[in-house]
Amino acid sequence: MNGWKRIIKFLLVFLGYEKMRKVINGNKFEKNNYLEGNV
């Protein structure tokens, strides 16, 4: 049972990290488009 909890916890952390990375990358992309549009 403990092993399963560890695996689930790891998956949640990993998925959360991937989500955050996508959000951060998305924000950078939007900012770049915004800056290019202004120039």
Give Cα separations from 25 to 3, 9, 18, 29 (angstroms). 33, 24, 10, 6
Structure tokens at 31: 């900012």
d(CA 15, CA 12): 5
Q: Which residue range forms the structural domain that includes residue 14? A: 1-39
**pLDDT of the residue at 24:** 77
**Contacting residues for 35 by C-beta, under 8 A, at least 6 apart:** none
**1-39, pLDDT tens digit by residue?**
689 999 999 999 999 888 888 887 777 766 666 666 655
Whether this model's pTM surpasses 0.75: no
**pLDDT of the residue at 28:** 74
- The total number of structural domains in the chain stands at 1
**pLDDT of the residue at 7:** 92
**pLDDT of the residue at 5:** 93
**pLDDT of the residue at 26:** 76
